[in-house]
Amino acid sequence: MLVAAQQADPTQVAFVLGRPQVGAWAARVLRRLHLATHDDVPLWVDVGQLHTFAAAAAVRAGLQARISVPAWRGQVILPTLGCARGPYGDTWEPAVVETDRGALRVSTARWWTGRPAAGTRLTTATAGTGPSGAAWRDTPWLRVGPQADRLAVEVDDTSPYRMLSGVTSPARSRPATLRTWECLLEEAWELLLATIPGFAQALAMATTTLVPLPAEDTSGFSVPRRVTLLAPSSSRRRAMAKASPRCWYTSSSTLSSGC
């Protein structure tokens, strides 16, 4: 499926496989295969994540396909696209992703849900969110700045490999938290464009993902809870920065503490 997607739209395949979480997954799987380390996550689940990358690439390339993927506690995460969630019996279960010209459907033996083409959310009537309780949620994206100097950052709060220190349960950000991040990024981006535009453009190319740290973080990373990102004499920015949640900013090759 990845080969077919690559032939149809190599740009979209590169967009999916270039995410930092994919690199973290690859490193983890190679360690497990070569070092034979013990892990609570079944090996078929770790290896099977490659299928989720292929499914996401197929959706973005507009292909028609059907592929089995792993579900963790009733959740199937498709990188850059979103997360399907429904009732589960076992912690690790097989699921199926079907794609057709940009639309997708995710199903298990208990539920189904999905997303139509063009990135719109499904309504209750078409999403399968009735008695089964299944639902689809699009990946949050923060887009700030003018069109000519746009910063687009994925908010990854669901990928199991986003923390780099093992698998991490999804921890969906609240709408208010996303609005706070958007305001902070907007003001910081305006400042960068006004003072060091060359650096801002390079930053926009390298920064791909913002990873909010869970409220009860066990990753071992040390990130300050309050960091001020503002111009002097801006009380509004100071108040918002102090109220900001913790996160990692990640790029395709680096991980650094931020916010």
Looking at beta carbons, which pairs linking 91-94 to residues 24 or more positions away fall under 8 Å?
A: 92/41, 92/42, 92/45, 94/68, 94/69, 94/70
Q: Which residue has the higher pLDDT, 147 or 238?
A: 147
Are 166 and 90 in a shared domain? no
Asked if 130 and 170 sit in the same domain, the reply is no
Listed in order, strand segments (DSSP E) in the chain are 65-72, 75-78, 82-85, 92-100, 103-107, 112-115, 135-138, 141-144, 151-155, 207-212, 247-251, 255-258
Assess whether 127 and 15 both reside in one domain. Answer: yes
pTM over 0.95: no
pLDDT the model gives residue 215: 62
- What six digits make up the tokens of 120? 């719109």
* Domain match, 57 and 92 both: yes
Q: How many domains does the chain have?
A: 2
- Does position 169 have pLDDT exceeding 80, yes or no? yes
d(CA 100, CA 131): 25
pLDDT (tens digit, 9 = 90+) per residue, 112-123? 999 887 544 433
pLDDT at 213 over 50: yes
* CA neighbours closer than 13 Å in the CB half-sphere of residue 135: 6
Among the candidates 75, 105, 138, a domain finishes at 138
pLDDT tens digits, residue range 218-245?
A: 444 434 333 333 333 343 334 334 445 5
| 21 and 116, same domain (yes or no) | yes
Which of residues 120, 138, 156 is at a domain's end? 138
Question: Which one of 80, 106, 138 terminates a domain?
Answer: 138
Same domain, 10 and 63: yes
Q: What is the pLDDT of residue 203?
A: 86
* Token representation of residue 88: 């589960």
Q: Report strand pairing: 75-78 vs 247-251.
A: unpaired
How sure is the predictor about 255, in pLDDT bands with cuts at 50, 70 and 90? Answer: very low
DSSP, collapsed to helix, strand or coil, labels residue 91 as coil
Mean pLDDT of the chain: 80
- Indicate whether 130 and 6 sit together in one domain: yes
- Residue 28: half-sphere exposure toward Cβ, Cα within 13 Å: 26
> Quick one: 157 and 206 in the same domain?
yes
Q: Which domain holds residue 62?
A: 2-138
24 and 129, same structural domain? yes
Gap between the Cα atoms of 212 and 259, Å rounded = 10
pLDDT tens digits, 48-64: 999 999 999 999 999 99
Strand-strand pairing, 141-144 and 92-100: unpaired
Q: In this structure, what token pair is assigned to residue 172?
A: 């969906």
Residue 258 predicted with pLDDT over 50: no
| Pairwise CA distance, residues 208 & 125, whole Å | 34
Which of 178-187, 209-218, 244-253 shows the lowest per-residue confidence on average (mean pLDDT)? Answer: 244-253
What's the rounded mean pLDDT across residues 185-204? 90
Q: Are 136 and 83 in contact (CB under 8 A)?
A: yes
**Mean pLDDT value of segment 165-176:** 85
